[in-house]
Amino acid sequence: LADSVFRHLASDPSPDVRRTLLDRVRLKHLHFFTSDPDESIRLALAEKLPRGYSYESNHVARWDAVTETLSRDPDERVRASVASSSCLTANTHMTLASDPSSLVRKSLAESGSGPDLPQAGWRKLISGGDVLCRLVAQNTNCPASVRLDLSSHSNSEVRTMAWGNLHFADCQLKDKLAGKLDIVFSDSALEPERLTIAGNQTITPAVIPRLLQCEASVTRVLAKNPNLQEEDRAALLQSDDPETAAIAVRHSFSAKLLNQGFSHSNPKVRAALAGMTGQHATTLRLELAVDPSAEVREAVRKYLMDKLSGYDGCNIRETLRILSHDPLAKIRAALVWDRRLPMSELTRLGDD
């Protein structure tokens, strides 16, 4: 249809006609509906805006006519819907950041975004109280400079959200980041922030050595972080905290690290190794079946009977056979129920 026909139908007195047309028109004709007298149609138009993805400037520019008008719409629901989109310009972002409606500002703080938005709108938002600061801190599109400022906020929840959503590897503000980290690692009261940093999967090698020196609660979280090199996990395996070392074992996959866990002096760590998968872990489990610690041998039995109950094989049968000779009667008794144990061993257990 020609532009003139679209314009004519967009002003049709029937809202049903206009609503049907809205679902059929191309992007270049959507601006015909920005001043529609029916707020439900304007809301439907606002909900067509892109959201949840970062777009290039040339794509966002195609929506300018719609966002500029709807950002000043009399209905706050329409403005809130615009605020949650990902095609905002610097002008619309600032307009919505100054909106008198808390619903609009919260929507903007939580998910509003656009390409290369200046900091002014973000800083306008974080001047509006702790709630908006928390939402901005968790918005993945918040500029790093604003996020780093929020990492020193008076509210602990805001600070942890800021650290949790900071992309360390992409942060170009090295000096500012270093200063903020110095504060976190020097203040004993900032343990929640250190826990959050330890769990952030974008942390860089420069941060990890400082985390390794932290309290056990932090190293336990760090041990679960998949963004660690083998040498970092090896250092965690040498931790004085057995739980940290045990977690490090559960997240290790190289033979070198598994061997380190196997040689660990604490039975809690060796017991964690009993539940690992892979060919090398299977080989080590044969040796763990005769470990001096009953805790380790019980961990081997539980893994074989609880996790691998539906599997069979030479290594499994041999490990079960070894456990059927265990000095602990509780372990031998449990094996009576395992169908994979050879009949000769069951007969022997019958005479236990």
10-34 residue pLDDT tens = 778 888 988 888 888 888 888 888 9
Residue 52 backbone zone (phi > 0: left; psi -120 to 50: alpha; other: beta): left
pLDDT band at 4 (very low <50, low <70, confident <90, very high): confident
pLDDT band at 60 (very low <50, low <70, confident <90, very high): low
Q: What is the pLDDT of residue 71?
A: 96
Per-residue 3-state assignment (H helix, E strand, C coil) for the chain: CCHHHHHHHHCCCCHHHHHHHHCCCCHHHHHHHCCCCCHHHHHHHHCCCCCCCCCCHHHHHHHHHHHHHHCCCCCHHHHHHHHCCCCCCHHHHHHHHCCCCHHHHHHHHHHCCCCCCCHHHHHHHHCCCHHHHHHHHHCCCCCHHHHHHHCCCCCHHHHHHHHHHCCCCCCCCHHHHHHHHHHHHHCHHHHHHHHHHHHCCCCCCCCHHHHHCCCHHHHHHHHHCCCCCHHHHHHHHCCCCHHHHHHHHHCCCCHHHHHHHHCCCCHHHHHHHCCCCCHHHHHHHHHHCCCCCHHHHHHHHHHHHHHCCCCCCHHHHHHHHHHCCCCCHHHHHHHCCCCCCCHHHHHHHHCC
pLDDT band at 346 (very low <50, low <70, confident <90, very high): confident
Residue 313, CA distances (Å) to 28, 282, 300, 318 in order: 65, 11, 15, 9
Instruction: Name the pTM for this structure.
Output: 0.84
Q: Is the pLDDT of residue 231 over 70?
A: yes
Q: What is the rounded average pLDDT for all residues in the chain?
A: 92
- Residues 106-119 have pLDDT tens digits of 999 999 999 889 99
pLDDT band at 56 (very low <50, low <70, confident <90, very high): low
Each as own residue / partner, the long-range contacts of residues 13-17 (CB below 8 Å, 24 or more positions apart, any chain) are: 15/40, 15/41
Residue 339 backbone zone (phi > 0: left; psi -120 to 50: alpha; other: beta): alpha
- Residues 257-296 have pLDDT tens digits of 999 999 999 999 999 999 999 999 999 999 999 999 999 9
As a whole-number percent, the residues of the chain with pLDDT over 90 amount to: 74
- Rounded CA separation 216/231 (Å): 18
Q: Do the beta carbons of residue 79 and residue 55 sit within 8 Å?
A: no
Q: How far is CA 136 from the centre of its chain?
A: 17
Cα-based angle 57, 61, 62 (whole degrees, multiple of 5): 130
**Which residues have CB under 8 Å from 118's CB, separation 6+?**
90, 93
Q: What is the pLDDT of residue 112?
A: 94
Which one, of 4, 51, 42, lies nearest residue 22 by Cα? Answer: 42
Q: Which residue has the higher pLDDT, 234 or 351?
A: 234
Cα-based angle 77, 80, 85 (whole degrees, multiple of 5): 130
pLDDT band at 151 (very low <50, low <70, confident <90, very high): very high
Q: What is the pLDDT of residue 127?
A: 96
Q: What is the pLDDT of residue 266?
A: 96
- Residues 177-207 have pLDDT tens digits of 999 999 999 999 999 999 999 999 999 999 9
- Rounded CA separation 160/190 (Å): 9
